[in-house]
Structure 1
Amino acid sequence: MSKRDYYEVLGVSKDAGEREIKKAYKRLAMKYHPDRTQGDKGKEEQFKEIKEAYEVLNDDQKRAAYDQYGHAAFEQGGMGGGGFGGGADFGDAFGDIFGDIFGGGRRGGQSRQRRGSDLRYNLEMTLEDAVKGKSVEIKVPTYVSCEPCNGSGAKKGTSAKTCATCHGHGQVQMRQGLFAVQQTCPSCSGKGKVITDPCPSCRGQGRVEKTKTLNAKIPAGVDTGDRIRLSGEGEAGEHGAPAGDLYVQVHVKDHPIFVRDENNLFCEVPISFTTAALGGEIEVPTLEGKVKLKVPKETQTGKMFRLRGKGVKSVRSHVVGDLMCKAVIETPVNLSGDQADLLRQLEEKMGKNQTKHRPKETGFFDSVKQFFDDLKS
């Protein structure tokens, strides 16, 4: 049975680039992988065909041989006995699909350009800005693509030439007895090309140091520890390689009034001695301005008041948290003689009914008495 054309198997044209081939392979591999087809032998064979096509077309050296000789290039004795062996390795497809994410590389063929490094920028924000969101201008020292040579590294008007040692493959084959070992080409360091006339601005690197000014949009609701990814705004790669990413790391500064816990805000609200005893209405702060809060009579320190919807809107959903106000009863200070006399009169008028007016105090001392009685027994 004759084999199908590899380009037809992946559904790509003969002039398809590396990225298009990899994208087609990912899509087909996800669809036909044996783990997903539940033992369907027909689809398993189709998956092997897809894998074999990808192994050839994703390798520059094998692809060139296939374009010239077709399937005969990989048959035993093909190309005058110097073929590439008996077919592709049908190992773990997902390892090849995601190998570039975890640092893996292609087997054989020309080395890929090395992507630029990712960068991190630490951004301090006020709580108000973090809750509402804000566009901020940031300055990042980094490497950017060299303008005179457009990132190629070669002097303007010239270009890199195919390496004469490896003929553009990025690797050379060393024979040791019966074995052939592939190594990175020492002349071009695996790039496949060499620059004979380097750009004077970047000295052949294709990038230069520069402080870049960016406008970063920080979404509403971010919190300390959140990261905003700016794709392609990291360091430029060498010789025109893709740039890395920039990660803006958010740190929200402490607030003089509010403490944030996820989407909720907490604050302490001082309440006067008389308002706590008799009840009343006070003003409390929110991030949107002041609001009225009704204080019931006989309010004690520690009582929590919940103001719904006055917290923070989640950055990942439309849920809005609450504002939790903790009552802190203030004892009067700096009393005049007349004011102190009034408090003493109040104490006398309470008389013997202290349990009725101060239940927590009575309960506390009862517990203390019981504690010492237990120690004696």
Structure 2
Amino acid sequence: MSKRDYYEVLGVAKGADEKEVKKAYRRIAMKFHPDRNSDDPDSDDKFKEASEAYEILSDREKRAAYDAHGHAGVDPQMGGAGFGGGNFSDIFGDVFGDIFGGGGGGRGRGGPQRGSDLRYTLDISLEDAVRGTQVKIRVPTLQHCGTCDGSGAKAGSKPVNCDTCGGVGQVRMQQGFFQVQQTCPACRGAGRIVSDPCTDCRGQGRVEETKTLSVKVPAGVDTGDRIRLSGEGEAGPDGGPPGDLFVQMDVQRHPIFERDGKNLYCEMPITVTDAALGGELEVPTLDGRVKLKVPAGTQTGKLFRLRGKGVKPVRGGSEGDLLCRVEVETPVNLNKRQRELLEELASTLQDSGDKNSPRQTSWFEGVKSFFDDMKL
């Protein structure tokens, strides 16, 4: 079967430069890599085809011969430069060295590594979230061992380079027709071996400690907001730098207010008489009580907005509002006199027709119209 054009295989134009060719091969090789396509029997051939095309087009002399004479110019049987006989590991390592630890360059991890980041969930009241506060927290973490200064070695000794990986922390492993680099099993990627370990940290270079930190919580934070404390995470292995600590806010439920962004909401129960006659009521805010005028005839669901009584956002902007939703409360546990008065009121309301209850009258008229339409 005739071979496909190498430019067509990689999906690049004939004038493509070296970077474009390399980028195209990387994309195709990752797509058809046998380890990622074990259930596709054709992936192996496609991977080899792309590797062959890359070897020819990435070499100036071979590419010039191919451009001049096609496949015949690179066919060894016809005197061409030829394909390298399937040495895919060198090709793959050259292109994917940054992924598999250096490919042909032999770059290993080695050296101290940064410690892990930590997360601490801070339960905080709505009042403290709105106003800001300062709290102390206790965080269990790994810190550098003071006895060995994080080296893991006993006093008077020091770690030595790992013989298995030569101190780079990685070893090459042959997998089929290509090579990859993996973490050294002997030193677990550290690149060094502690032959005489420190008795306090048992050669780990780190010990478990609980430290107390002071956290300044800015005004306006909300659930999910995070405060970053640089260098307060876990100490790095082999004396490496520490990670960071992220303190995540979790604002607790409030018995009166509910927060939505920069606005606050609350339910405000009022009596039937206050709703009917109107009046002046005291409303709670996070800054204290304020007076609110309720007009006569107020209905359940009415929203009253108190401007500037909400939350000032932590990232800046104007303060939000407090919105109070009215709930007209039906009186319960009536005594005899109260019941008589309500019955007398009900009698007078019936005599007035829809004057005092326009919504109720409108609703019943709608119901009547609905059933009349059903009879048609």
Q: Is the 8 A contact 2:149 2:239 kept in 1?
A: yes
1:294-327 deviation line (CA, Å, top 9, x unaligned) = 1111111110000011111212223321111011
> What residue identity is the alignment partner of 2:223?
T
Count of equivalent residues: 284
Give the secondary structure class of the aligned counterpart of 1:124: strand
**1:181 to 1:278, Cα distance in 2 relative to 1, 3 A:** closer
Is 279-288 or 132-141 further displaced after alignment?
132-141
Hey, what does 1:160 align to over in structure 2? Answer: 159
Give the secondary structure class of the aligned counterpart of 1:347: helix
Unaligned runs of 5+ in 2: 1-16, 20-89
Deviation for aligned residue 1:277 = 1.6
Deviation for aligned residue 1:133 = 1.9
Separation of aligned partners in 2, 1:127 and 1:190: 46
Deviation for aligned residue 1:185 = 5.0
**1:212 to 1:350, Cα distance in 2 relative to 1, 3 A:** same
Deviation for aligned residue 1:179 = 9.2
Separation of aligned partners in 2, 1:226 and 1:155: 43
> What residue identity is the alignment partner of 2:122?
L
Hey, what does 1:290 align to over in structure 2? Answer: 289
Deviation for aligned residue 1:164 = 5.0
> What residue identity is the alignment partner of 2:160?
K
Q: Is the 8 A contact 1:109 1:170 kept in 2?
A: no
Separation of aligned partners in 1, 2:157 and 2:172: 29
Taking the TM superposition and a 5 Å limit, the aligned residue runs for 1:70-219 are 108-112=106-110, 113-164=112-163, 166-171=165-170, 187-219=186-218
Is 184-193 or 326-335 further displaced after alignment?
184-193
Unaligned runs of 5+ in 1: 1-40, 45-84
1:159-205 deviation line (CA, Å, top 9, x unaligned) = 223445555444567899x9997665555444333323221111111
Hey, what does 1:304 align to over in structure 2? Answer: 303
Separation of aligned partners in 1, 2:225 and 2:178: 52
Give the secondary structure class of the aligned counterpart of 1:343: helix
**1:168 to 1:343, Cα distance in 2 relative to 1, 3 A:** closer
Separation of aligned partners in 2, 1:361 and 1:180: 82
The answer to whether 1:263 aligns with 2:262 is yes
Separation of aligned partners in 1, 2:142 and 2:162: 26
Separation of aligned partners in 2, 1:189 and 1:350: 87
Deviation for aligned residue 1:374 = 2.4
* TM-score after normalising by structure 2: 0.66
The answer to whether 1:273 aligns with 2:256 is no
Q: Is the 8 A contact 1:143 1:207 kept in 2?
A: yes
Hey, what does 1:326 align to over in structure 2? Answer: 325
Hey, what does 1:249 align to over in structure 2? Answer: 248
Q: Is the 8 A contact 2:101 2:107 kept in 1?
A: no
Separation of aligned partners in 1, 2:126 and 2:321: 15
Separation of aligned partners in 2, 1:242 and 1:353: 82
Q: Is the 8 A contact 2:101 2:108 kept in 1?
A: no
Separation of aligned partners in 2, 1:301 and 1:325: 11
Q: Is the 8 A contact 2:118 2:245 kept in 1?
A: yes
Deviation for aligned residue 1:212 = 2.2
Q: Is the 8 A contact 1:221 1:314 kept in 2?
A: yes
Separation of aligned partners in 1, 2:294 and 2:270: 9
| Aligned-residue CA RMSD (Å) | 3.3
Separation of aligned partners in 2, 1:265 and 1:166: 61
Q: Is the 8 A contact 1:269 1:327 kept in 2?
A: yes
Q: Is the 8 A contact 2:101 2:181 kept in 1?
A: no
Taking the TM superposition and a 5 Å limit, the aligned residue runs for 1:355-370 are 355-370=354-369
> What residue identity is the alignment partner of 1:117?
S
